[in-house]
Chains A and B, each alone.
Chain A
């Protein structure tokens, strides 16, 4: 997606969203918060790319959405990982760690 900001490597947002949903169902803002928190504020998810990504993942069948209530009793759409999403997360994580290992090797060996 051309609109993604450069502080996220292209194509990684989907993986991060899946990871953020690994244990709990969350709504959009909470997903963004969670990613920010897990990355110790290094990664900030641009709202503009969050929703397209969420709908994309939903259309793929990796996450599922339903309406629920937030902590302060607001209506919100909660996203939850599906079984297919879990598998996808595992395979993307594996793929990612192989790639990063490779990149690390290239960069450190120079």
Chain B
């Protein structure tokens, strides 16, 4: 026990050193006072008595020092000393310290933020949902295609009933509506969800309740809604009595029954939902009709929770069995249809699928930057250690223990990395939401929420990597120092050789690694940038500049088809009469939107499909003059006219791809195809265009007249020389004149619409540019540090060369060539690495080879330029070496 107590007492002594010192001084003062008093009592004068007492007591400081040694562990005391000394050393070379700390801070901070972000999206996307490890995405597939489809509601119910390995299934369908409160109207996004949605996810409404089982069933039977926390806070001003109030949604009065907790945004990553309604309300929110009893309507996205201990393979096997049974029971609708489950990170329906390659690359890039930062700091430490070689030698010579020296350097490294780690955590904290800012804005009116919380595990990993590498390289000089031959080292101080390889090999390797990694990053950035430019310049097949799109949410306003037809008729007339408008028409979907094109089984006259292939096609319902308005050329035949209405024979326009697929070598105009039990005659062939993104493969596609296939919800497409803003104002006026309760959505140019869909590329460019820039900066610092060091170490040699007649040019050349040699070696390795890695960039590249010479050439030039600059400053200093000074040292 006494041993433990002593230990503790010393420990306390260590941390409350000041208090103990004060107490000690006080005690000794009292002692001297007592002695003095005693001597006065013996008859001495006060002054003599005090002097005598002090003499007798001895040197106060020495006693204190001796006493202190009893109290405090020697090594611990030394540790405090080391920390002080280390801090002083860091303080004395602020340039070095700031650079090192900055590099590490940036490295730790950004990589931790990025990794947290990725972890949040890919692995645990839903902050409030329990058992995400057992949650999987569920969707349908069709044999013979790679396409992923939704589930039908009857199939979902059968899965619920017949599965044994699953704990539960939920379904969810994203949809939008116009939410008007008072005179404000805004787009709102919502989810049509199964009644068990909140219960299965384990999300308890903050106010009110979730859905009851019976609320999922019955056509339009349960107009109830759960709203999100943000909607409650922003649109309903945090009304505490919100539950029980009503809200018009798509023209139907809904009762608000609950408010979700703050962190719950729905299960569609990338969108923050405003409200949820039960499946029973599907028809109210889906302009394409009632689907709850239609086994062929695959419109919902599913999620499932596996029972504990069940593997995905077992679950998949059970799904296959159920799908086969359904196929037997309902061959009409289920022939060739299967179910499939995937981990959440591969959810086919939401933004994750678009983002995953971007995220993967970002993760790699962030890791690269972390590595570069570590290499940089190691480099700085090495540079400094060599500069401090003399100091180390001197201290050894003066009797410092080698272990003590190592401890000293160790402490300095620790101090450095701890400061940086603290800084990194702060940076990560700030950055965690900054990535959302980098992400370009998407569809107006829809909030994006990426779960950007900081993950402590990720942070810990980054910090450990940084501290580890710092310590490793902090110790190299200590180990070197302990092998120093004292007399030799003291004699020759400056012995570096510009021309030689010598002992700076390790540092050269580090610079070399940095250059190589930077090259990979810059080349990658170049590739993505070129893809983006290519994409921006690529022709989607329609005009993007002088076409403006908008829409009026008639469906939400409760318009029935007859009334809507009249409304559109009148509105288009008014728009066409506006100054500067060339033409205007309708289309159910605008190109490059998140909407889903109509799709139907097809029958083609005179075309025998290969066995097992069920023909199907995507199409759009468009108004007269659509092709002229949007700028898609008609190759043969004609486009839709006003006369193609419900009284005229059904017609269709197909694209070139479709024409060559089904009627090769024949004249397509005049051929017939059957869509949804309706025979249509092909009246024209339109040029191929992009329909969803510029990345898509050309696919067969066709158009039908909107007059023959009417939908209440349409887009208005206007060809005009006016700006979108001007059209917006005019449109608002015209819509208001027709119906004072309506307001159109902001008109945007098709170009804007197209840009929205290239956001993954733009996000990648933004992220890669940031990281690439950072890497470049760090690599430049690394090179600069090495060259500076080499120059300062070889003053003597340089002086000698100058004395022997070398001119400034020769010196410049000598230093630059050494730096460039390093750079070029790094670039060579970087180039090879990049060639291997850029192939993995997958769908981020658009019509750019992963070995694009321009991107690689650009990276080469940039790196060379930066390297030249980094070497030039030290090289110029080298030319100023005064030979007399240099040789005298």
Binding site for B on A (CB under 8 A): 1, 3, 27-29, 46-49, 51-56, 58-62, 70, 72, 74-77, 84, 88
Contacts and interface: CB of A to CB of B under 8 A. Distances in A.
10 contacts: A48-B59, A55-B24, A55-B71, A59-B10, A59-B13, A61-B9, A72-B37, A75-B30, A84-B1, A84-B5
Interface centre among A29, A62, A72, A74 (most CB of B within 10 A): A29
A46 B35 contact: no
A102 B13 CA distance: 40
B71 A59 contact: yes
A52 B10 contact: no
Given A28-B31, A59-B10, A74-B30, A47 B58 contact: yes
A62 B9 CA distance: 12
A52 B66 contact: yes
B2 A62 contact: yes
A30 to B, nearest CB: 9
A61 B35 contact: no
Nearest to A28: B31
B63 interface: yes
Interface in B17-64: 23-24, 26-28, 30-31, 33-35, 37, 56-59, 62-64
Chain B binding surface SS class: helix
B70 interface: yes
A47 B57 contact: yes
Interface centre among A51, A56, A62 (most CB of B within 10 A): A51
B31 A29 contact: yes
The 9 lowest CB-CB distance pairs between A and B, nearest first, are: A61-B5, A56-B70, A48-B58, A52-B66, A55-B70, A61-B2, A55-B67, A52-B67, A77-B27
Nearest to B59: A48
B6 interface: yes
A34 to B, nearest CB: 14
B40 to A, nearest CB: 12
A28 to B, nearest CB: 5
Given A47-B56, A52-B69, A58 B9 contact: yes
A48 B9 contact: no
Interface centre among A1, A49, A53, A59 (most CB of B within 10 A): A59
A47 B2 CA distance: 26
Given A48-B62, A51-B63, A84-B2, A59 B34 contact: no
A76 B2 contact: no
Contact of A60 (B6, B58, B66, B69): B6
B707 to A, nearest CB: 99
A56 B66 CA distance: 10
B109 to A, nearest CB: 44
A14 B451 CA distance: 66
A87 to B, nearest CB: 9
Contacts of B59: 48
B63 A59 contact: no
Contact of A76 (B5, B30, B35): B30
A51 B13 CA distance: 16
Contacts of A53: 70
A51 B34 contact: no
Given A29-B35, A52-B67, A74-B33, A59 B6 contact: yes
Interface centre among B6, B57, B62, B67 (most CB of A within 10 A): B67
Contacts of A28: 27, 31
A47 B63 contact: yes
A1 B70 CA distance: 11
B6 A1 contact: no
A61 B1 contact: yes
Contacts of B1: 61, 84
Contacts of A72: 37
A76 B34 CA distance: 9
Nearest to B4: A61
A60 B34 contact: no
A55 B21 CA distance: 12
Contacts of A48: 57-59, 62-63, 66
B31 A47 contact: yes
Contacts of B5: 60-61, 84
Contacts of B33: 74
A49 B28 CA distance: 12
Interface in B58-94: 58-59, 62-64, 66-71
Contacts of B28: 51
